[in-house]
Amino acid sequence: MSLTPQELDYLQKKIGREPNSVELQIVAAEWSEHCSYKSSKKHLKILPREGKRVISGPGYDSGVLDVGDGYVVTVHIESHNHPSAVEPYGGAATGVGGVIRDILSAGTRPIAILDGLRFGNIEKDTHARWLFKNAVRGIADYGNCLGIPTVGGEIEFDKCFTNYALVDVASVGFGKKERLVQNRADPDDWIVLLGGSTGRDGIGGSQFASDKLESENRSAVQIPDPFIEKLVIEAILEARNQQCIKAMKDLGGGGLSCAISETADALSVGIDLDVSLIHKREQNMSPTELMVSESQERMLVITSSEKLQTLKDICEKLHVPYSIVGQVTNNSMMQIKSQKEIVANLPSNVVANAPLLDRTSSKPKYLENISTIKKPKVPNLSHILLTMLSNPNIASKLWVYTQYDHEVGIRTVIKPGQDASVLRLDNGKFLSVKIDGNSKHCYINPRQGVIGCFDEACRNVICTGATPIGMVDHLQFGNPEDPEIFWTFKESVEGITEYAKYFDIPCVGGKVSLYNETNDGPIKPTPLIGVLGLIEGKPLIPMKAKRNDLIVLVGVTKDELGGSEYYEYVHEITGGRCPTVDMKSSKTIQRTVLEIIHRNLTKAVHDCSKGGLGVSLSELCITNEIGCLVSLDKVPSEKLREDEVLFSESHSRFLLIVDPSKIKNVKSLLEQNKVQHEIIGKFSGKAISFKNKSKMVASVRIDKAQEKWLNSLGLLVSHG
């Protein structure tokens, strides 16, 4: 039981008596950090939630955006960090299942999954390799069984995640606006629990996820069953079509306790529930176990008396188990019975609204000295370029995404491995999706770090020709009771807010995950940003570069190597100047690059980010199977050393592949908009070569670069 003495006192005053043991466990589940957001809710209110396309935003199971012609897309992001650190296969798989049901809750069909994964140093840590392999397998198996494509994601390895895992899963849905679930209820409507049977798995899961991970509590990890989830999806969508659903909620964290209290509170109704009527997987389950179990693949549906039989018929036809467990009342109480005995009777608004906390915050002491570092000596840059390409944070994630069926559903137009993935919509438009994070940048400068993640996600969807229309965030930090950790959380929220307002990109959903730490200490601040972009015309599907095609670098390279892969991976340096975003300049650059794409003036656009110019250009050469000769002295930059020009991770930069016949028009547009740019080289030959004036700085054969970049991650995992 995880209520503090102050919370217990608050509860007693609110209900005017001492709660019984069942009531205590119901409230403890809902008031856990994982479910109540008691530390973060006050600060999240500053995020911009409204926009011309926003139908519903944060506070619902999924955000809903209008994409025109009577259609909507839905999006949500969730994490299963603690469970995945204990049992990575089941933890990651149930994370996928939960976020898909969030999409389903709006009445839309899930059409895509994206994942963000973080583990310890897989080059040195066999346990991190085991966690990584099994989490990927869990996501792959669950998504593939459902027939929902996993179209993208991102992965980061860092020793701060030792003995831990961050497993974030985002899902996107699509449907007709007129078929959205309206979420309303009237007295005497029926409460139906459908889907998987309720067992003892996942009991106390929300409390388990609201504290430091100290023990392997496997009973708190839910058991996945994608086959029943597939049936639940089809049953819900048919019930939606038959207008059987007045309101609906996924049973996630806190199980029935949270689903009942939050539904009743949101709809301003009461609910009478009899737990003895629930279809169960195990015998002799107590009322408390039934209320807080987090068994998966379950949905709570409110239907009218007129439609109850139709809903039952649909469930029986599709072999989906169900129980009619209660009714809506006209008071505001959640009354829980076991057979005829009342075991809990609480005001739903009290249960659903934990007392919010005013956490103290203070700037971390480690930031006082982290900005000044002794610059390393310039090494052999040809050797370093190969080393960077085999870095697990940079190497191709082919080993991961080839395990995912990313083409099922025939919507995937641009597949994983590109800057962003693109999905075909039924109204002739296209949706571009990407998630990005960078704990190394966020550790050095939490505000600018998260702004950079946001900027990178926007740049990635812009590379496909999409205009950003909405975002979701996932904010992952250590113990919020530590003022220094809470300061980094607040800085991140303020950074996201600043960028979202300036670029007019509304936040339509998100998740906060705190207490991400083990006995080794807290994780680095790890906010993730997911951006959705809409393409009204055709997406930019990259065309192969040919000999003498020109390489145009847009944007300025600065002395910003703090948190870079070059400093951290090659030199083991933590510190320096973190990349910052000049929002005015970035906005102009993004708008201009989009115009170049829409005018069909470029063969391909690639974001310049992790690993800097050296890595981004190498990726273009490897994927196009052609070499290049680039002049570092032509790169728009501050006065920098050669290694800094190659590996700085400054933001707001794009690489364009331009046919020589179109370069005049490209330069004209960039000059009109006063965007700094330069033709830095051309494609030719069989080597990736960088020179500084007449001096050759680095040169690597394409086949060697390809071998390092494509195979390093797979070889590392297969040998583990």
Confidence of residue 169 (pLDDT cuts 50, 70, 90): very high
Confidence of residue 314 (pLDDT cuts 50, 70, 90): very high
**CA-to-CA distance for 180 and 188, rounded, in angstroms?**
23
Just list the catalytic residues: 34, 80
**CA-to-CA distance for 40 and 514, rounded, in angstroms?**
9
Reported as a single tens digit per residue, the pLDDT across 466-479 is 999 999 999 999 99
Reported as a single tens digit per residue, the pLDDT across 519-555 is 889 999 999 999 999 999 999 999 999 999 999 999 9
Burial of 290 (0-12, 13-18, 19+ CB in 10 A): buried
Average pLDDT, the chain: 93
Homologous superfamily of domain range 41-176+396-539: PurM-like, N-terminal domain (3.30.1330.10)
Q: What are the residue boundaries of the structural domains of the chain, listed by start?
A: 41-176+396-539, 181-227+235-354, 542-720
Homologous superfamily of domain range 181-227+235-354: PurM-like C-terminal domain (3.90.650.10)
Tokens found for residue 212: 């430091």
Query: How much is the pLDDT for 208?
Result: 44
Reported as a single tens digit per residue, the pLDDT across 350-397 is 999 999 999 999 999 999 988 888 999 999 999 999 999 999 999 999
Reported as a single tens digit per residue, the pLDDT across 274-312 is 999 999 989 999 999 999 998 989 999 999 999 999 999
In whole angstroms, how far apart are CA 230 and each of 101, 198, 522? 10, 17, 37
Query: How much is the pLDDT for 204?
Result: 58
| Closest by Cα among 112, 71, 29 to 412 | 112
Query: How much is the pLDDT for 252?
Result: 82
Phi, psi of 546 (to 5 degrees): -115, 165
The average pLDDT across 612-631 equals 97
Nearest-5° Cα angle at 389, 384 to 393: 115
pTM of this structure:
0.95
Topology alike, domains 181-227+235-354 and 542-720: yes
Q: How many CB atoms lie within 10 A of CB 456?
A: 27
**CA-to-CA distance for 264 and 332, rounded, in angstroms?**
7
Is the pLDDT at 720 greater than 80? The verdict is no
**CA-to-CA distance for 148 and 111, rounded, in angstroms?**
6
In whole angstroms, how far apart are CA 192 and each of 276, 314, 608? 13, 13, 51
Confidence of residue 207 (pLDDT cuts 50, 70, 90): very low
- From first CA to last CA, the distance across the chain in angstroms is 39
| Helix axes 88-104 and 126-146, enclosed angle (nearest 10) | 40
| Contacts of residue 229, Cβ cutoff 8 Å, sequence gap at least 6 | 97, 100, 101, 142, 146, 195, 196, 296, 297
Is the pLDDT at 222 greater than 90? The verdict is no
Helix boundaries (H) for 379-481: 381-390, 398-401, 439-444, 446-462
**CA-to-CA distance for 708 and 703, rounded, in angstroms?**
9
- Residue 140, helix vs strand vs coil: helix
Is the pLDDT at 418 greater than 60? The verdict is yes
Percent of the chain with pLDDT over 70: 96
| Helix axes 612-624 and 702-718, enclosed angle (nearest 10) | 100
Confidence of residue 106 (pLDDT cuts 50, 70, 90): very high
Tokens found for residue 248: 């609906």
Query: How much is the pLDDT for 563?
Result: 96
Query: How much is the pLDDT for 210?
Result: 42
The average pLDDT across 594-613 equals 97
In whole angstroms, how far apart are CA 270 and each of 107, 262, 282, 328, 334? 23, 11, 28, 6, 6
Confidence of residue 211 (pLDDT cuts 50, 70, 90): low
Reported as a single tens digit per residue, the pLDDT across 12-66 is 999 999 999 999 999 999 998 888 899 999 999 999 999 999 998 876 779 999 9
Tokens found for residue 633: 């002295």
Query: How much is the pLDDT for 209?
Result: 44
Helix boundaries (H) for 483-628: 483-503, 565, 583-598, 612-624
Reported as a single tens digit per residue, the pLDDT across 683-693 is 999 999 999 99
Torsion of Cα atoms, 619 then 532 then 505 then 51, to 10°: 170
**CA-to-CA distance for 534 and 464, rounded, in angstroms?**
10
Query: How much is the pLDDT for 60?
Result: 72
Query: How much is the pLDDT for 351?
Result: 94
Cβ–Cβ < 8 Å for 70, 56:
no
Fold type of domain 542-720: Phosphoribosyl-aminoimidazole Synthetase; Chain A, domain 2 (3.90.650)
Element spanning 236, H or E: helix 226-241
Confidence of residue 409 (pLDDT cuts 50, 70, 90): low
Cβ–Cβ < 8 Å for 90, 99:
no
In whole angstroms, how far apart are CA 135 and each of 84, 121, 162, 514? 7, 15, 15, 20
**CA-to-CA distance for 369 and 50, rounded, in angstroms?**
39
**CA-to-CA distance for 416 and 390, rounded, in angstroms?**
19
Query: How much is the pLDDT for 276?
Result: 96
Place of tokens 């709660």: 19
**CA-to-CA distance for 713 and 119, rounded, in angstroms?**
13
For residues 182 and 409, the model is more confident at 182
Confidence of residue 86 (pLDDT cuts 50, 70, 90): confident
The average pLDDT across 490-503 equals 98
Query: How much is the pLDDT for 205?
Result: 47
